Amino acid sequence: MGKALFVRHCAGCHGPEGRGNGYKLLGPDPANLTAITTKKKVDEDLLRTIHEGKPNMPAWKAILSTEEIRNVLTYIRTLTP
Ligand code: HEC
């Protein structure tokens, strides 16, 4: 469930395995979601980032439901470096 959403919406920038190796952007590169710095962040922080977006990342709250965003985060938590 979360994986299908990730592949469709997130892999373009974050890469198929979430390592941040999608395409290069101007400005901040997509985060490596398998990195220890992301693993250490609490769910609330990451959910906020996904909901609200970042300078180089779109906000998802208008596109995905709260439940879908939770499912994507659950999938991100399963990614390994
Ligand atoms: C247009 C490219 C793009 C897409 C699409 C995208 N992201 Fe991102 N994402 C980024 C960039 C760039 C950053 C780093 C932003 C920064 O640090 O300023 C980021 C950061 C993040 C972070 C924060 C990581 C951390 O350690 O704080 C999470 C979580 C995240 N993205 C999840 C997702 C999810 C889930 C999706 C799909 C629903 C998604 N992203 C789609 C570009 C993208």
Write down the pLDDT at residue 25.
67
Q: Which residue reads 């609490």 in tokens?
A: 42
Residue 21 Cα to ligand 1 middle (Å)? 12
Q: Is the pLDDT at 69 greater than 90, yes or no?
A: yes
Report pLDDT for 22.
81
Atom 40 (ligand 1) nearest CA? 10
Burial of 3 (0-12, 13-18, 19+ CB in 10 A): middle
CB-hemisphere CA count at 13 Å for 31?
A: 18
Rounded distance from Cα 43 to ligand 1 centre (Å): 14
* Residue 21's pLDDT band (cuts 50, 70, 90): confident
To test the pocket of ligand 1, the residue of 10, 24, 39, 52 to mutate (highest count of ligand atoms within 8 Å of its CB) is: 10
